[in-house]
Structure 1
């Protein structure tokens, strides 16, 4: 019954949180030969033939100083070019491609060229910007395009590296381009600021949903509304950022450049970091999740009641040797201090993991290993300091919280959420120090809020149930060794006691009365 309730609850929540894909503009065969006329300021779906050049013409007006062209495909490699011969330095290739068109003379149309390695549908847009808006990639000194509005992605160990070409301040089409390497004053591109945004795609998305999210992240206004801000970079920083992502989630990244003097914005071409839909679907992983979830339920509701199980499980959370030592110390000497210390340390670790999974973990002060680990140790030690005055309460709460977390993490493996990856940021940094400079770019998903609520409910219910079970019991169970020794002494005393070996004899019936016919032996 409860399984059916949770299934329909999660299903309805997912349906409500999935965006409805809109109908994009489809140019009504407005084609002359192989030339297609594309409107500005809106997205269109183009049918791109395989290995054929499609010339796309865009209308111009006197208010347009630059056009950012972008095209996105879900199943093909696109090639966009400024020239018909696709010469080097004028071409960009990928699943998401972008160009910047600057009119050199006053004309009514401007053209660019598009190819695909297979027949596909592409989401195409020509976004106009005025002379006051910054030009994405206008100060490119590293990549092939002279003006490169694209985000360049590289997958490194455990992180994703996004690089971009710095933007330039806007200028009218009839004047010379402002230089990028002369001066650093307020009139140069050094005044610009960059904001990275991300948007997580819903699970099992279709092409129309992906195009819809690309359209949301392509323009500054909709990006600020629907995207989640990752970080802000000044012009003085390097034009790259390291980001941690979740393997199960498909995330769209984009970059918005701000001109604080002109109060204008412009967007780079968004790019998709695809997720792995089949990761963690093996039978072994599923079996491990079931075992962890079952053990978490027992620990959440019966952890302190079954004290030996809690001591061993918490010891396994730190190390096998630590769990065995803690269990032996309690069994032999009856001391619960070591077990309680391990419980409180693990509880402190959970608090530290939660703190560094929040935006506080992205602060610049924590990029230093010394600052990060010193703060981590202080938070972890804060748990034992709070638990020493009240060992029973801390042990019960720790069992309930950690057991509930095990249940939630086991469930989270089967739903598209970010919670498990947020909680392993610290262990991943310990295993891979290169991730110290990476920024956590995993926003919470709708399922994450449900799992956090389930975590809290299980922790509260587990604490209450354990207190009810322990209401008529001592705070901690007695020493098992002392109990065994007392039982052994009782058995030894019973063996040495003669009455223990004396067999009971049946009593003789007593006569009802004595008379002259009663034998003398019976009378006495």
Structure 2
């Protein structure tokens, strides 16, 4: 990072005389109020390889310091002040610098080192002497006072970090707990990567009144100045932090907002989640398997046994292999599928030879219990310290699975139809969710992440629930309801379960398999007898 910043300084100093320079002067005499500390906010188009110089005039005497921030969408830019030292420059898309503005000679320079013109949003916030200084107790980042937020991500989570704030009366950061820093989040529309949506999102998270109206607080986990969130690639998220005085919340300051899509829309693959042929094929196949199970699962009971067993085997194997080895996703999926097919065949054989309805339906009810527990985890509020401990979380998760299964097993016939309807409906909307860019698929993905991703126990989920998610949720419920009613109607008057093809269990005569129908009783008085038959107290009454 140090060498990168130093190289930027060299480039700036070399090309500064060769580029087109633009100068603007901003008056800092605007009156602010408690909920809005913004002194200036305007859009600027900066040409390629150009520098914008910003000066100030009419500085209000009530100002103790300002936060000068610049926001770009996709392209990194460099911001530095007139001292041009290594510790006075920042580089990125959402950057800011602290300044005391003690004299009107202070200037800021914005350098666009890209080969394209860049649209910028320049914002200045002004604060009084009683307000905390954002990033004033910085020990990790450059410059020494760092009001910017630092963000990184991978396929599973987003990590947001910032420096501790400093109370205005604390000159050496001996009481950092006198300032409370809260993190906020606002999601952008799903699969919307245009600049207008991005800049509007930044504006909506710029002042305290807008943050309170549009943002959602991110609960604190085990870190005070860091937050980990589950990643939802393709859905933009704006993050901001607000530093409050612990004794007087009217004294506050706002960090520089930042954003992420948890992916890079400018890359060749963009934000495409399924970037290999095997994943795309499996995802598309779920649509047909889901519809079949939802509307015909119980009618074709043996096929249902195989599919439910296979899906369970795929999930279990995927988790186990991920824990013990590091494989590329196609190889991991291939191994999980082969193992799942074997598991499905084994599960079918149990019914084929033994035909125990309760045992056969057990796996379907456990799968429904798994889905139900995953939904609770998906919607669970963050910051629950007890559930950050893996033992506590998985014990509660398994308890919910088990209780759901035990409750459903009391009525095997209706439970099997219900499991087919709900699980099949979710499998149907799962590939649709991928292609429209909504986030219901993360009901399962977040649970798998919790099992295989290190330190994911510290992640706050806070899933985005937008209009497309609502439409798919209604579709899920409609499919489940119609699937249950259709299968119940389709199986009326039929035995609840078909007989096993090769049962090796001893069977009782004169019974109907799997039903609660009455046994056939034989009237002893009407039964023909031979002359030598004698009846006594040991003669069976039922024939």
1:7 is matched with which residue? Answer: none
Aligned equivalents of 1:189 and 1:433: distance in 2?
29
Using the TM superposition, give the Cα deviation of residue 352 of structure 1 relative to its aligned residue in structure 2, in angstroms: 0.9
- The correspondence for 1:383, drawn from 404, 408, 415, is 404
Shifted more, 305-314 versus 45-54: the winner is: 45-54
1:504 is matched with which residue? Answer: none
Using the TM superposition, give the Cα deviation of residue 120 of structure 1 relative to its aligned residue in structure 2, in angstroms: 1.8
Aligned equivalents of 2:90 and 2:78: distance in 1?
6
1:73 is matched with which residue? Answer: 72
**Does the aligned pair in 1 maintain the 2:180–2:246 contact within 8 Å?**
yes
1:13 is matched with which residue? Answer: none
* Residue 145 of structure 1 pairs with residue 139 of structure 2: no
2:49 is matched with which residue? Answer: 51
Aligned equivalents of 2:25 and 2:208: distance in 1?
24
**Does the aligned pair in 2 maintain the 1:404–1:455 contact within 8 Å?**
yes
SS of alignment partner, residue 360 of structure 2: helix
1:318 is matched with which residue? Answer: 312
Count how many residue pairs are aligned between Structure 1 and Structure 2.
439
Aligned equivalents of 1:437 and 1:292: distance in 2?
31
Which 5+ residue runs of structure 2 have no aligned equivalent? 1-19, 28-37, 264-269, 314-339, 508-543
1:280 is matched with which residue? Answer: 274
Using the TM superposition, give the Cα deviation of residue 156 of structure 1 relative to its aligned residue in structure 2, in angstroms: 5.2
Aligned pairs for 1:30-429 (under 5 A) are: 34-38=22-26, 41-59=39-57, 60-84=59-83, 86-104=84-102, 110-118=106-114, 119-155=117-153, 158-170=156-168, 178-182=170-174, 184=175, 189-232=177-220, 237-264=223-250, 265-274=252-261, 275=263, 276-280=270-274, 284-319=278-313, 320=340, 321-360=342-381, 362-429=383-450
Aligned equivalents of 2:89 and 2:382: distance in 1?
39
Shifted more, 156-165 versus 424-433: the winner is: 156-165
**Does the aligned pair in 2 maintain the 1:67–1:102 contact within 8 Å?**
yes
Using the TM superposition, give the Cα deviation of residue 35 of structure 1 relative to its aligned residue in structure 2, in angstroms: 2.2
Using the TM superposition, give the Cα deviation of residue 369 of structure 1 relative to its aligned residue in structure 2, in angstroms: 1.0
**Does the aligned pair in 2 maintain the 1:154–1:161 contact within 8 Å?**
yes
Aligned equivalents of 1:149 and 1:230: distance in 2?
19
Per-residue deviation, residues 400-429 of structure 1 (Å, max 9, x unmatched): 000000011111010121221243111112
**Does the aligned pair in 2 maintain the 1:132–1:262 contact within 8 Å?**
no
Aligned equivalents of 2:62 and 2:302: distance in 1?
76
Using the TM superposition, give the Cα deviation of residue 445 of structure 1 relative to its aligned residue in structure 2, in angstroms: 2.3
Shifted more, 51-60 versus 71-80: the winner is: 51-60
Aligned equivalents of 1:361 and 1:208: distance in 2?
31
Aligned equivalents of 2:383 and 2:401: distance in 1?
19
Using the TM superposition, give the Cα deviation of residue 131 of structure 1 relative to its aligned residue in structure 2, in angstroms: 3.0
Report the CA distance shift for 1:58/1:211 in structure 2 as closer, same or farther (over 3 A): farther
Compare CA radii of gyration and give the structure with the larger one.
Answer: 1
Using the TM superposition, give the Cα deviation of residue 63 of structure 1 relative to its aligned residue in structure 2, in angstroms: 2.7
**Does the aligned pair in 2 maintain the 1:198–1:230 contact within 8 Å?**
no
Report the CA distance shift for 1:38/1:420 in structure 2 as closer, same or farther (over 3 A): farther
Per-residue deviation, residues 326-380 of structure 1 (Å, max 9, x unmatched): 3222222221222211011101100111011113465221111111111111111
Report the CA distance shift for 1:266/1:332 in structure 2 as closer, same or farther (over 3 A): same
Aligned equivalents of 2:167 and 2:121: distance in 1?
28
Per-residue deviation, residues 467-505 of structure 1 (Å, max 9, x unmatched): 11111112212222369x99xxxxxxxxxxxxxxxxxxx
Using the TM superposition, give the Cα deviation of residue 212 of structure 1 relative to its aligned residue in structure 2, in angstroms: 1.2
Aligned equivalents of 1:420 and 1:331: distance in 2?
33
Computed over aligned residues only, the root mean square deviation of the Cα atoms, in angstroms, reads: 2.6
Per-residue deviation, residues 152-188 of structure 1 (Å, max 9, x unmatched): 1233573222211111224xxxxxx622433x4xxx6
1:497 is matched with which residue? Answer: none
Aligned equivalents of 2:463 and 2:220: distance in 1?
16
TM-score (norm 2): 0.75
Per-residue deviation, residues 270-322 of structure 1 (Å, max 9, x unmatched): 11213343332655444332211111011011111111111111101222344
1:444 is matched with which residue? Answer: 465
Report the CA distance shift for 1:202/1:131 in structure 2 as closer, same or farther (over 3 A): farther
1:505 is matched with which residue? Answer: none
Aligned equivalents of 1:56 and 1:304: distance in 2?
71
